[in-house]
Amino acid sequence: MAQNFGRIPSHQCYVLNLYRTVLRNVPKNCHSYAFQNEIKTNLSRQLTKHKHDKSSWSVYILLEKFNQLNNYLLEGKLQEIKHLIQPLKKTSKQLKTTRILNSLNDLGNENLLQSPGEIRELHALSTYIKQKQDICLLPRYIPKKYKLNLLLPLALNDRACVKLYNIHQKLEKGSPSARLSYTKEGRNQIWFVRSPINKGKRQSKMLGILIRQERKDSQKNIDDINFCESNATWALHEAIWEEYLESKRTIEINLAKYLEYNIDNPNKPARYTPASRNKKINDWVDPVREVMFNLQAKSIQKVVYYSDYKEKLLSEDGQLAYLDKLSKAMYAKRLDSFEKMTEEALPYVTPFIPKKDLSSVLTKYGF
């Protein structure tokens, strides 16, 4: 009896590996989210549809097309992919309504192969037209050729003018300086330098890793101390019970005060209640108390470490002075570029001439 290919382990492994490879290659080589979704939807539909195929020839043809799709993705041949994933057209005469729907779908598919830059430009155009229509400066209906040839350059120029204004405002504020900042995790204040040089994506990834790790360690330290306090209560009950069984006396002790570990200054010894002379307290409570004191001391050591690190940052040859110097140099360079652009290029900006428009000028001068 014939068996479908989906139950053969080697075939399953091959198809799944190829499917994963294609899914990884789709976002890498196709920049249109709509086209990515169309590829994935079509692929999923075909795999489900032919899951129970028993014809070896049918499976062979489908796998060939699958491989061809992956090769087209790697080569960036998106037009060929579009033709490959389109379903076979029926040979019978189509209804008029079907032809209309197909033509509408084709109009929608024109935007599938647009680059990210084109998508951003069309978004700027759409925003510009809506703003002008809201204040009655543009009609509701605008032919497509006027949008692309007349309004698109004006929309890009309008967006570039806003960017130019923001650059000018930042430069007018003067030279930015580096500053010291911190985030608090438990008792620790983790100090670091903020400046225009290392902000945003240029910020050290290790800093984020360090902060997250310190957050976990601080929380674990707090949880461990709370756990020890709970155990100390039970240990005290055991000590009281054993003392009572032996001598018919009860132990009087303020447990909260006995477990206190106070440090006003990290450079001075901690203040705590001396160890009890009662043997039962020594046997039951003191081991837990010692663990709690060790946890507290460990926390204080980190406070001292980050305090010393802050002093290193503030030193004359520290990171703060270095980044402050770089920030001022960067500001001076940007100011020179802006003044040079103002004299050489801005008077001759024309939105309708390529490489003379404001966006190209800003890019040319590094803004």
142 and 74 inside one domain? no
61 and 152 inside one domain? no
Burial of residue 199, with CB atoms counted within 10 A of its CB: 0-12 exposed, 13-18 middle, 19 or more buried:
exposed
The residue to which tokens 């225009």 are assigned: 196
Domain end: 64, 84, 104, which one? 84
Instruction: Please give the Cα distance from 332 to 174 (Å, whole number).
Output: 10
80 and 51 inside one domain? yes
160 and 187 inside one domain? no
293 and 213 inside one domain? yes
Does residue 333 lie within any of the structural domains?
A: no
Percentages of the chain per state (helix, strand, coil), in multiples of 5: 70, 5, 25
18 and 64 inside one domain? yes
Single-letter amino acid, residue 37: N
Our CA angle for 225, 226, 227, nearest 5°, is 90
Residue 228 pairs with which residues in a beta bridge?
none
Q: What distance, in Å, lies between the first and last C-alpha atoms of the chain?
A: 70
Q: Structurally, how many domains does the chain consist of?
A: 3
Single-letter amino acid, residue 203: Q
Query: Which residues are CB-neighbours of 310 under 8 A, at least 6 positions away?
Result: 180, 182, 189, 191
187 and 306 inside one domain? yes
148 and 213 inside one domain? no
The per-residue b/e assignment along 135-170, b for 16 or more CB within 10 angstroms, e otherwise, is eeebeeeeeeeebeeebbbebbbbbbeeebeebeee
Instruction: Please give the Cα distance from 269 to 261 (Å, whole number).
Output: 10
Among candidates 180, 169, 170, which has minimal Cα distance to 323? Answer: 180
126 and 79 inside one domain? no
Does residue 103 lie within any of the structural domains?
A: no
261 and 227 inside one domain? yes
Residue 180 pairs with which residues in a beta bridge?
193
- Identify the pLDDT of residue 288: 92
Domain end: 297, 314, 331, which one? 314
Does residue 156 lie within any of the structural domains?
A: yes
- DSSP line for 106-172: HHHHTTTT--HHHHHHHHHHHHHHHHHHHTTSS-S---HHHIIIIIHHHHHHHHHHHHHHHHHHHHH
Does residue 77 lie within any of the structural domains?
A: yes
Strands 188-194 and 179-185: antiparallel
The residue to which tokens 């440090």 are assigned: 263
Range(s) of the domain holding residue 50: 5-84
Which tokens hold the place of 188?
Answer: 């620790």
305 and 229 inside one domain? yes
Does residue 109 lie within any of the structural domains?
A: no
The H or E element spanning position 69 is helix 56-75
CB of 226 within 8 A of CB of 270?
Answer: no
Does residue 319 lie within any of the structural domains?
A: no
298 and 188 inside one domain? yes
CB of 159 within 8 A of CB of 124?
Answer: yes
- Identify the pLDDT of residue 92: 44
Does residue 178 lie within any of the structural domains?
A: no
- Provide the residue-wise pLDDT of the chain in tens; the chain has 367 residues: 456 666 677 777 888 888 888 888 888 888 788 888 888 888 888 888 877 777 777 788 888 888 888 888 888 888 888 888 775 333 344 555 565 666 555 555 544 567 888 888 889 999 999 999 999 898 888 888 898 899 999 999 999 999 999 999 999 998 888 888 888 887 888 898 988 888 877 888 888 888 899 999 999 999 999 999 999 999 999 999 998 898 888 888 888 888 888 876 666 667 788 888 888 888 999 999 999 999 988 888 888 899 889 888 888 888 899 999 999 999 999 999 999 999 999 999 999 988 899 999 999 998 8
Instruction: Please give the Cα distance from 120 to 151 (Å, whole number).
Output: 15
Does residue 92 lie within any of the structural domains?
A: no
Q: Furthest-apart CA pair in the chain: how many Å? A: 106
Domain end: 61, 84, 107, which one? 84
